[in-house]
């Protein structure tokens, strides 16, 4: 028989496992792009980027939100003993996933030439990646089901296996064609096809866990005192799908914001910027820097915010449901404070060291684009966190409306800034879009509960941020010049390490020295942050 304390422990452990899986997946994604950057010319990088961004956008549409909706529906039914009803929901969801996979995968394959109209060489890559979408909707639903049953490990393991299989096969296939002397179009298509093997690997893992769970359920039914597994009424598919869509649509729209911005940039890149650059070669180089380098590195700072955003939803939901508005206010303020204190320094360090980090991982060039996009992730982090806070407050529609208007702002400003500033105009439009969504989210939260992030400490905080950035940027610029005699990669390695260490150390010290962090802040932080700040705060107190 299940134990309540074990449930609580498994949920905490599952949150840690999912966060670790997301971190591993992100770094594996980086290591996929590094060898591809060396095998592909700039045109090939543009082909792969176009296909990958279209695929990721469709993946969000086809899967994001549905696992959370299924998880919630399954967990509620199991908690109420309505086991047969839960299984009926799962079967209906799987049928929906199969149908969605067929439609989305077939549509992407058929429409590939149209989607690649401005970049015809990308059509082969789009078609190569399309079959993966046959499986991913089903995989997402299976992950949601296991989360609802509180078996988080299944989804985490499948995510890790998916990334390993995808990266290994993607790089291997691309290298095989590169070795035989094929051109960029086929190499990029081969690299895109690795996603299919990732999907197969993830599906195999989920099938394995399904067999184990079915055996455990059978043993539970046979065990003494086992619950009757036939509780609940049979729901009609119309009821099931109505509940799924009602729960998942706002989550889908808010989850796809970043990928929509990236897709918009790659889909309309040539139309909006080729006049600025004056030639297809220069436009390809700018798109390659944005898609192959900047978008990958800029995905690192939000990782912690994503994990924290997922974990804060049930905390705020619980406090809000019981009417404890003081706790809601405290938690909403705390989560914003933590992501600002943790996400900003990571984005700061990568922005300051953009030239050396880009040179270390990729071929030279494009560091300005990397720096610009990475700097904007600070606002992306705020957007993600406030979205989750609104979900916890039971106001997903408000987050959805802010997202839709933010997307419109991004599109309009891209049309305005792209021809004037090139790739930097598109990045500026994205940054303003994140600011729009996050700003309106904060206003909506404040209508429900007061939030106090830093209060009067914003000026000391900004001073610490700017001074730390200056230190990191100065070391990055000087380091590459002083180590010019060393091999380029080695110089980039030493410089990146020194720059990130300097900006990080300066940030911590100046936050305490300027009074931007207090003892009360440190007491409410997670364990690792406490260990960082407490010794510095004790020194300041002396």
- Residue spans per domain, the chain: 49-251
Task: Tell me the C-alpha distance between 43 and 297, whole Å.
Answer: 20
pLDDT tens-digit readout, 502-530: 998 888 888 878 777 777 666 666 555 66
191: Cα separation from own chain's centroid: 21
pLDDT tens-digit readout, 343-363: 788 888 999 999 999 999 888
Compute φ and ψ for 526, nearest 5 degrees: -60, 160
How sure is the predictor about 76, in pLDDT bands with cuts at 50, 70 and 90? low
Task: Tell me the C-alpha distance between 39 and 230, whole Å.
Answer: 57
Q: In degrees to the nearest 10, what's the CA dihedral of 261, 266, 272, 274? A: 150
What is the chain's Cα-based Rg? 24
Q: Are 101 and 62 in contact (CB under 8 A)?
A: yes
- For helices 377-392 and 396-421, angle between their N-to-C axes, nearest 10 degrees: 160
pLDDT at 10: 40
- The mean of the pLDDT values for the chain is 82
338: Cα separation from own chain's centroid: 18
pLDDT tens-digit readout, 490-504: 999 999 999 999 998
pLDDT at 5 over 50: no
A 10 A CB-CB count for 494 gives 16
A 10 A CB-CB count for 470 gives 13
Q: Are 449 and 328 in contact (CB under 8 A)?
A: yes
Task: Tell me the C-alpha distance between 194 and 186, whole Å.
Answer: 13
Q: Are 146 and 154 in contact (CB under 8 A)?
A: yes
CB neighbour list of residue 404: distance below 8 Å, 6 or more residues apart: 253
pLDDT tens-digit readout, 17-64: 666 676 777 677 767 777 887 888 878 888 888 888 887 777 776 666
pLDDT at 4: 35
pLDDT at 238: 77
pLDDT tens-digit readout, 189-224: 999 999 999 999 999 999 999 888 888 877 766 664
């Amino acid at each position: 028989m299940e134990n309540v304390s074990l449930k609580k422990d498994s949920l905490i452990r599952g949150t840690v496992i999912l966060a670790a899986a997301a971190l591993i997946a992100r770094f594996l994604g980086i290591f996929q792009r590094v060898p591809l950057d060396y095998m592909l010319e700039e045109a090939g990088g543009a082909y792969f980027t176009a296909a990958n961004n279209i695929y990721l956008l469709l993946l969000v549409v086809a899967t994001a939100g549905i696992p959370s909706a299924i998880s919630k529906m399954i967990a509620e039914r199991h908690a109420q003993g309505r086991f047969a009803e839960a299984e009926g929901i799962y079967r209906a969801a799987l049928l929906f996933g199969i149908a969605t996979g067929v439609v989305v995968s077939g549509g992407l394959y058929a429409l590939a030439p149209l989607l690649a109209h401005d970049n015809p060489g990308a059509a082969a890559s789009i078609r190569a990646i399309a079959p993966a979408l046959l499986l991913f909707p089903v995989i997402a639903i299976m992950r949601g089901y296991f989360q609802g049953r509180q078996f988080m490990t299944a989804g985490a393991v499948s995510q890790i296996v998916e990334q390993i299989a995808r990266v290994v096969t993607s790089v291997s296939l691309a290298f095989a064609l590169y070795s035989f002397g094929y051109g960029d179009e086929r190499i990029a298509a081969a690299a895109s096809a690795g996603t299919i093997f990732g999907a197969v690997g993830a599906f195999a893992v989920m099938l394995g866990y399904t067999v184990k769970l079915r055996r455990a359920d059978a043993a539970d039914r046979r065990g003494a005192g086992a619950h009757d597994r036939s509780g609940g009424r049979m729901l009609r598919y119309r009821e099931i799908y109505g509940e799924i869509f009602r729960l998942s649509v706002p989550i889908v729209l808010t989850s796809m914001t970043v990928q929509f911005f990236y897709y918009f940039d790659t889909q309309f890149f040539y139309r909006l910027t080729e006049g600025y650059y004056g030639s297809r070669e220069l436009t390809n180089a700018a798109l390659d820097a944005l898609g192959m380098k900047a978008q990958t590195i800029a995905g690192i700072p939000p990782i912690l915010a994503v994990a924290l955003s997922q974990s804060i939803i049930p905390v705020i939901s619980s406090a809000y449901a019981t009417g404890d508005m003081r706790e809601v206010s405290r938690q909403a303020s705390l989560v914003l404070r933590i992501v600002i204190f943790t996400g900003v320094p990571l984005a700061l360090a990568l922005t300051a060291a953009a030239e050396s980090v880009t040179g270390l991982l990729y071929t030279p060039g494009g560091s300005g684009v990397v720096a610009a996009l990475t700097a904007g992730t600070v606002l992306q982090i705020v957007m993600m966190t406030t979205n989750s806070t609104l979900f916890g407050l039971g106001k997903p529609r408000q987050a959805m409306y802010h997202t839709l208007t933010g997307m419109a702002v991004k599109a309009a400003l891209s049309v305005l800034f792209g021809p004037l500033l090139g790739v930097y105009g598109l990045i500026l439009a994205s940054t303003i879009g994140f600011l729009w969504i996050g700003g309106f989210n904060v206003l909506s939260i404040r209508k429900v509960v007061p939030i106090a992030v830093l209060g009067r400490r914003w000026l000391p905080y900004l001073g610490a941020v700017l001074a730390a950035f200056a230190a990191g940027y100065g070391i990055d610029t000087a380091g590459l010049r002083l180590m010019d005699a060393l091999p380029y990669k080695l110089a980039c390695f030493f410089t990146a390490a020194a720059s990130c260490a300097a900006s990080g150390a300066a940030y911590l010290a100046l936050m305490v020295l300027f009074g931007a962090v207090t003892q009360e802040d440190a007491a409410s932080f997670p364990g690792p942050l406490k260990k960082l700040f407490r010794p510095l705060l004790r020194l300041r107190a002396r």
